[in-house]
Chains A and B, each alone.
Chain A
Amino acid sequence: MQTDLNLHKGTELKIPRRKIWPIFKQQKYLFLLMLPALIWAILFAYTPMAGLYMSFVNYQPTLGKFWYSLFHSEFVGLQWFQYFFNNGDFLIIMRNTLASTMITLLFSFPMPILIALAINEIKNVQFKKIVQTSSYLPYFISWVIAANIIVTLLSSDGAVNALLKFFHITNESILFLQNGKYFWWIVALGNTWKDMGYSSIMYLAAISSINPELYEAAKVDGANRFKQIRFITLPHLKPTIVILLILAMGGILNAGFDQHFLLGNDLTKDYSDVLSTYSFRYGIQNGMFSYAAAVGMFSSVVAFIIVVIVNNIAKKINGQSLF
């Protein structure tokens, strides 16, 4: 991100004002090519940002067209934000959001590293290919499909309950999705299941750039494979691991909408409601537009600040950031 935000400082030449028009005319086709994207950005990215003004008024949709009602609704300042922070929902929503993302991180962060290390050690190409192909697949399906699969696997006569009964861990079927206390763990494992294979690609790429002579030298010195991993592979992966961990921390408030919306239900609401689904429920379903917009604005502003901080940390550590 940072590379793009302040890209190539100094390459820009100061252009005298009177030359701007001739240069623009010279580049008219370039601007023409950019035009559709510019219109898109203005309409679908920046206009909604302007629409965030909703959070500061008491938006009344009945007044007329959107912009008319927006600017004729009563200005209420930070009232909606205060309402959000002071009512009991705030703590529950924040708890759910953080619990969901933290528990997800607990599994989804180490798994790709383990997979990459293991795949790298396997000599059998066929086996390697099968495992890789299968482990990337869940990444490409939608959360709708994933939720359908998860619901089936976790149903009272689904495969997971059958497995638990087989090993006598439980004798009665566990109703996983009807009980809030399992919810964060289901989302965390679902996220991990979906992303672990795909995320391992990044680590495999980093491993493949390690100089093979290092391993040769280690073998000569009598290091076994376990020691090779410990003293060569892992130290070389450390920068990647650190950067990806820091960037993952940047998404700490971003508990995905899809998984919480699709897997949650009325019985698990107290655990499944996160910032995005809460905003959705109040806005789209209950029609409290301004309040929902304020909740949304709170989460995107805080998320943006976290991303900027995290990116700067990553930049300091690595000399440059990932994106």
Chain B
Amino acid sequence: MKNHKTITEHLFDTALYLFLTCIFLVTFYPFWNILIISLNDATDSLRGNLYFWPREFTFASYVTIFRNPEIWSALQVTALRTVIGTAVSIVCISMLAYTLSKRYLLGWKYFSFFFVFTMYFGGGLIPTYMVIKALGLIDSFWVFIFPGLIGVFLMILVRTFIEQLPGEIEESAKIDGANDLQIFVRIVLPLCVPVLATIGLFLAIGHWNAWYDSYIYTYKPELKTLQAVLVKILNQFQTGAMMTDAQQLAQNAKRIPVSSESIRMAVTMVATLPIIMVYPFVQKYFVKGIMMGAIKS
């Protein structure tokens, strides 16, 4: 009976593999497609029909964009905001999480509500813009760091983690005369490294992917992040798609063809690559993170 699969079982298996192969293709192929277009000669790409393999293989598009000062500066800004923003946020989030893990804190209930409420209600686009403008953060690097400083959901992950730590270590430190600050820095923080790595990945990916803040809060070209530049290129391309061929040709003759798919795809690849590179770690930690979020309740 065991070695003898029925026909329905076989059909069932085939359907499963077929379905999941489709899922694989649908999620993987788009990345493959942009990779091969980016590796194809930019002028040749205008002919289209690039589906499986580059027709005229070249790294020229990558050379072009890395020679472009705009992309170069965007990469620097993005890297800088990712590093600084992630570091500052981890510190502030873990500090808040430690305080809120102490249920005996004066007014604990009110403070918790104060933070959790911000997850569900906000001032919205326009008032936020006005406040950021009033604070003088327009065209400042710090607009990338401060408005998104605290992620309340991430804070809850860290708080849950701290609450699950054995309380005895903290107790004995307290008896030895350590104050909350010392306990936090010397005992709790080192124990929190796994959860801080998890939220660090969340934060870093968020910073790398952020485009909106750079797009609307900064005007200086030297403060544009990679994703904001990519939005600009996308907009140019979308407008280009509405022009006639003649208009496009006239435009392309004048400057580097950003409407050329290869260039656009090369920038897209450069923006995607870091994500793919940290992805193996991310996958492990994110799965853990989502489980923690689910288990918490």
- Which residues of A pack against B, CB within 8 Å? 1, 3-5, 7-8, 11-12, 15, 20, 23-24, 27, 29-34, 36-37, 40-41, 43-52, 54, 65-67, 70, 114-115, 118-119, 121-122, 127, 130-131, 133-138, 140-142, 144-145, 147-149, 151-153, 155-159, 162, 177-178, 193, 196-198, 201-202, 205, 224-226, 257-258, 262, 265-267, 276, 279-280, 283-284, 289, 292-293, 296-297, 299-300, 304, 307-308, 320-323
A88 to chain B, nearest CB (A): 22
- Asked if residues A283 and B131 are in contact (CB atoms below 8 Å), the reply is no
Does chain A have a CB within 8 A of B98?
A: yes
- Asked if residues A297 and B124 are in contact (CB atoms below 8 Å), the reply is yes
For the A-B complex with A49-B122, A178-B242, A300-B122 known, give 17 more contacts whose Cβ atoms are closer than 8 Å. A27-B106, A30-B99, A37-B92, A40-B92, A52-B127, A115-B23, A118-B20, A127-B20, A142-B208, A145-B209, A145-B230, A145-B272, A177-B241, A193-B26, A279-B125, A296-B125, A296-B127
**What residues of chain A lie closer than 8 Å to B135, measured between beta carbons?**
43
In the bound assembly, the distance between CA atoms of A157 and B271 in angstroms comes to 24
User: CB-CB contacts of B273-296 with A at 8 A, as 1s and 0s?
Assistant: 001100100110011001101101
B292 to chain A, nearest CB (A): 11
B113 to chain A, nearest CB (A): 6
- Asked if residues B34 and A152 are in contact (CB atoms below 8 Å), the reply is yes
Main SS of chain B's interface residues?
helix
- Asked if residues B238 and A177 are in contact (CB atoms below 8 Å), the reply is yes
Q: Out of A142, A151, A225, A265, name the residue touching B242 (CB < 8 Å).
A: A265
- Asked if residues B109 and A7 are in contact (CB atoms below 8 Å), the reply is yes
**What residues of chain B lie closer than 8 Å to A202, measured between beta carbons?**
290, 294
How extensive is the interface on chain B, given as a class? 35 or more
In the bound assembly, the distance between CA atoms of A148 and B102 in angstroms comes to 46
- Asked if residues B125 and A283 are in contact (CB atoms below 8 Å), the reply is yes
Does chain A have a CB within 8 A of B69?
A: no
> Quick one: which of B11-38 are within 8 Å of A by CB?
12, 16-17, 19-21, 23-24, 26-31, 33-34, 37
Main SS of chain A's interface residues?
helix
- Asked if residues B287 and A201 are in contact (CB atoms below 8 Å), the reply is yes
Which residue, A52, A137, A142, has most C-beta atoms of chain B within 10 A?
A: A142
A50 to chain B, nearest CB (A): 8
**What residues of chain A lie closer than 8 Å to B261, measured between beta carbons?**
152, 155
- Asked if residues B230 and A157 are in contact (CB atoms below 8 Å), the reply is no
B26 to chain A, nearest CB (A): 7
A262 to chain B, nearest CB (A): 6
Does chain A have a CB within 8 A of B62?
A: no
User: CB-CB contacts of B118-153 with A at 8 A, as 1s and 0s?
Assistant: 111111111111111111000000000011011000
**What residues of chain A lie closer than 8 Å to B37, measured between beta carbons?**
152
Does chain A have a CB within 8 A of B65?
A: no
Stretch with Cβ within 8 A of A (4 or more), from B164-172, B177-185, B191-199, B249-257: B177-185
**What residues of chain B lie closer than 8 Å to A257, measured between beta carbons?**
212
In the bound assembly, the distance between CA atoms of A30 and B123 in angstroms comes to 28
Does chain A have a CB within 8 A of B68?
A: no
Q: Out of B20, B114, B234, name the residue touching A148 (CB < 8 Å).
A: B234
**What residues of chain B lie closer than 8 Å to A320, measured between beta carbons?**
297
**A52-B99 CB under 8 A given contacts A140-B282, A262-B234:** no
**What residues of chain B lie closer than 8 Å to A140, measured between beta carbons?**
205, 209, 275, 279, 282, 286
- Asked if residues B49 and A157 are in contact (CB atoms below 8 Å), the reply is yes
In the bound assembly, the distance between CA atoms of A7 and B296 in angstroms comes to 13
Does chain A have a CB within 8 A of B116?
A: yes
**What residues of chain B lie closer than 8 Å to A15, measured between beta carbons?**
106
In the bound assembly, the distance between CA atoms of A322 and B119 in angstroms comes to 14
In the bound assembly, the distance between CA atoms of A308 and B121 in angstroms comes to 11
Q: Out of B8, B23, B112, name the residue touching A224 (CB < 8 Å).
A: B8
**What residues of chain A lie closer than 8 Å to B264, measured between beta carbons?**
148, 152
**What residues of chain B lie closer than 8 Å to A37, measured between beta carbons?**
92-93, 95-96, 115, 149-150, 155
User: CB-CB contacts of B52-75 with A at 8 A, as 1s and 0s?
Assistant: 000000000000000000000000
Q: Select from chain B the residue with minimum beta-carbon distance to A32.
A: B181
Does chain A have a CB within 8 A of B40?
A: no
Q: Out of B93, B126, B233, name the residue touching A283 (CB < 8 Å).
A: B126
- Asked if residues B31 and A66 are in contact (CB atoms below 8 Å), the reply is no
In the bound assembly, the distance between CA atoms of A252 and B132 in angstroms comes to 28
**What residues of chain A lie closer than 8 Å to B290, measured between beta carbons?**
198, 201-202, 205
In the bound assembly, the distance between CA atoms of A202 and B120 in angstroms comes to 22
Q: Out of B99, B103, B106, B134, name the residue touching A33 (CB < 8 Å).
A: B99
**What residues of chain A lie closer than 8 Å to B86, measured between beta carbons?**
none
- Asked if residues B211 and A47 are in contact (CB atoms below 8 Å), the reply is no
- Asked if residues A34 and B147 are in contact (CB atoms below 8 Å), the reply is no
> Quick one: which of B174-233 are within 8 Å of A by CB?
179-181, 184, 205, 208-212, 216, 227, 230-231, 233
- Asked if residues B127 and A224 are in contact (CB atoms below 8 Å), the reply is no
B17 to chain A, nearest CB (A): 7
